[in-house]
Amino acid sequence: MTFEPSSNHRTTAPRPRRRKRTWAVLSCMAIAAVVIGGAEPAQATSAVHPAAAGHRADGSLPKLNPQVLQRAISSAPNRVTGALARVSGPAGHWTGTYGVADTATQQPVPFDGRFRLGSVTKTFIATVMLQLAAEHRVDLDQPVQYYLPDVLPAGYPPIPVRTLLNFTSSLPELTADDMPSTPDAIVQHRFDDHPLSQLVAKAVRHDRPFTEPGSMQAYGATGYYVAAMLVEKLTGHSYEQEITSRILHPLHLRYTTAPETDPTISGPHAHGYLAVPQSDGGSKLVDVTEQNPGAGGMISTTADLDRFLTALFRGRLLAPAQMKELLAVPRVPYLGGSEKDPGQGWAYYSAGLMRATIPGRDGHPSVTVWGKTGSTYGYTDGMFTSPDLRRRLVYCFNPVTGGGNDMVLVNQIITAAFAP
């Protein structure tokens, strides 16, 4: 079973003094793989939190194995500069780190480090949209065009709002030709602004992946660009403000932010790097920690994401009808899907979440988990839980090969947590 979304030198790119609020494409484009070549990997260190010494399992989940978890987060030294993971719940607790937070100082990755969420932000946007539906401010069955009449091309069929959230909208995606996609270009343009309307306008120049909205599922970002625009149209506030007032403040997520323009990460954090090829055939790690916050610009910690996931599945954020909507996976084919996908050829995303089943081992039954992965340059993360919240996982690692999920490493971490 696999899960789907792909230096000591600090960059000198200027930081803009003032920018209008926009959404930058950092987490949703296809990024070409970068070969590290002759670059020397950062000297890595490993650490295990004292909580790893005490854990207990229930009757349905395998007992946690700290050694397997530590090996999982430490298994990609040539692709990752640092990693941290947290397992919580009645079925076991464990926290571990690997690598360095800064390749220049060699400081270890902090257990309470903050990181960029990438597409995990979609889960927050979906939650806000479902809250608006509960308030009768948006009808999920109404076409997007009813609320945003001038955003999509005139020739498009009606696109129900619901399809934006569950990835069945048929909206096309940006390609590598639409935005900077080579390492050098990414570094040079990582502070660029890309308004939501501009991103959607670029995406809809391409052909739609299928004809009938709601008939197939294909993971992508354009639907959530439009959903964020819809939040702003309905509320008169930025989607970041709505996430902050509706989710972050009520849940007291003190170390989670939804920045609009600030390119920095405050507080303890591991730096993000990008391997940039050099003329000698090797590569140089360039610090890309500071970047336009835009898409995937939310920042959090493993503890805060664990609190969010717990509150979400306990129904603290959504009423029963909206919880049902949150977890409704459409029974439609997944575009280009196969038996190796979590859905085995069928849809496996709901409204901002994904569902996957991990095969059982050693007499234990298979485990179904819900969660979301995310990635932006220098940061790949995810949050997953068993439906009963008895075991929850939040992780982040710092890949040097771009903004795509390292699915081999993601699978190792998730499997180590739920089926060691």
Q: What is the pLDDT of residue 420?
A: 77
> From the candidates 27, 74, 88, 119, which is the catalytic residue?
119
Per the annotation, the verdict on 119 as an active-site residue is yes
Residue ranges of the alpha helices (H) in 78-195? 121-134, 144-147, 161-165, 183-189
- Please list the helix, strand and coil fractions of the chain in percent, rounded to the nearest 5, in that order: 25, 20, 55
The residue segments making up the domain with residue 159 are 9-418
- Say how far apart CA 218 and CA 324 lie, in whole Å: 21
Work out how many domains the chain is built from and give that number: 1
Q: What is the pLDDT of residue 143?
A: 98
Which tens digit of pLDDT belongs to each residue from 375-415?
999 999 999 999 999 999 999 999 998 766 689 999 999 99
pLDDT over 90 for what percent of the chain? 78
Q: What is the pLDDT of residue 362?
A: 75
**Measuring CA to CA, which residue among 302, 292, 294, 289 is closest to residue 400?**
289
- Residue corresponding to tokens 């608006």: 132
Which tens digit of pLDDT belongs to each residue from 28-74?
333 222 221 223 333 344 444 333 333 333 447 899 999 999 999 99
pTM above 0.75, yes or no: yes
- Say how far apart CA 266 and CA 114 lie, in whole Å: 8
Radius of gyration for the alpha carbons in the chain, expressed in angstroms and rounded: 20
Higher pLDDT: 39 or 18? It is 18
What is residue 87's three-state secondary structure? strand
Higher pLDDT: 2 or 242? It is 242
pLDDT at 247 over 90: yes
- The identity of residue 270, as a single letter, is A
Does 219 map to a domain? yes
Q: What is the pLDDT of residue 9?
A: 37
- Say how far apart CA 410 and CA 383 lie, in whole Å: 11
Q: What is the pLDDT of residue 296?
A: 63
Average pLDDT over residues 178-192: 92
**Measuring CA to CA, which residue among 180, 235, 227 is closest to residue 29?**
180
With beta carbons less than 8 A apart as the criterion, state whether 222 and 29 touch: no
Does 4 map to a domain? no
Token pair, residue 223, equals: 């639907």
Does 3 map to a domain? no
Distances 123 to 51, 166, 251 between C-alpha atoms, Å: 28, 11, 15
Does 173 map to a domain? yes
Cα 154–chain centre separation: 32
- The identity of residue 339, as a single letter, is E
- Say how far apart CA 166 and CA 183 lie, in whole Å: 31
Token pair, residue 88, equals: 């919580």
Q: What are the residues facing 275 on neighbouring strands?
A: 285
Secondary structure letter of residue 52 according to DSSP: G
Does 119 map to a domain? yes
CA dihedral sign of residues 87, 91, 93, 97? negative
Instruction: Kindly indicate the confidence band of residue 295, based on its pLDDT and cuts at 50, 70 and 90.
Output: low
Which tens digit of pLDDT belongs to each residue from 326-355?
999 999 999 999 998 999 999 999 999 999
pLDDT at 146 over 50: yes
pLDDT over 70 for what percent of the chain? 85
Which of 159-163, 249-253, 381-385, 406-410 is predicted with the least confidence, judged by mean pLDDT? 406-410
Token pair, residue 64, equals: 């946690």
Does 258 map to a domain? yes
Does 52 map to a domain? yes
pLDDT at 364 over 80: no
Q: What is the pLDDT of residue 153?
A: 98
- Say how far apart CA 360 and CA 357 lie, in whole Å: 9
Q: What is the CATH number of the domain that holds 162?
A: 3.40.710.10
Q: What is the pLDDT of residue 185?
A: 94
CA dihedral sign of residues 327, 325, 159, 212? positive
Mean pLDDT of the chain: 87
**Phi-psi region at 189: left, alpha or beta (left = phi > 0; alpha = psi -120 to 50):** alpha
Which tens digit of pLDDT belongs to each residue from 91-135?
999 999 999 999 999 999 999 999 999 999 999 999 999 999 999
